[in-house]
Amino acid sequence: MNMTENLETLLAQSLAKGEDSALLRYSLGNAYFKQNDHAKACEHFARAVELDARYSAAWKGYAQALAAAERSEDALRAYETGIRVAEDKGDLQAAKEMKVFLKRLQKTT
């Protein structure tokens, strides 16, 4: 089994127990993003930020996946939210990175 399959198995087991995990969803989002399956990546990142709205890394991943899926307006909103979340948490590096990505995306839209 590859990483994505392992993570999907873990997710299925978690959901069977009535549990879900922002970290697991974030990991799945990253795995699908690396495979260029941006729709699946968006799905899992969206669930990650739904489960933990203060998960700045998940916001960054979500925005990147949205941009890669050519959903620019959604990506802009995700970056803006992610920046606010990261700044509120004091996660300044994540905020700085998202600001750079946001500016790049704004130039192309």
The 10s digit of each residue's pLDDT in 17-73 is 999 999 999 999 999 999 999 999 999 999 999 999 999 999 999 999 999 999 999
pLDDT of residue 1: 77
Mean pLDDT throughout 89-100? 96
Q: Specify the pLDDT at position 109.
A: 80
Q: Which residues contact 23 (CB under 8 A, 6 or more apart)?
A: 48
User: What radius of gyration, in Å, describes the C-alpha atoms of the chain?
Assistant: 14
What pTM, to 2 d.p., does this model score? Answer: 0.94
pLDDT of residue 23: 97
Q: 85 is in which domain, residue-wise?
A: 3-108
Overall number of domains in the chain: 1
Contact 72, 43 (CB under 8 A): no
- Which tokens sit at 19? 């549990």
> Residue 99's domain is classified under what CATH number?
1.25.40.10
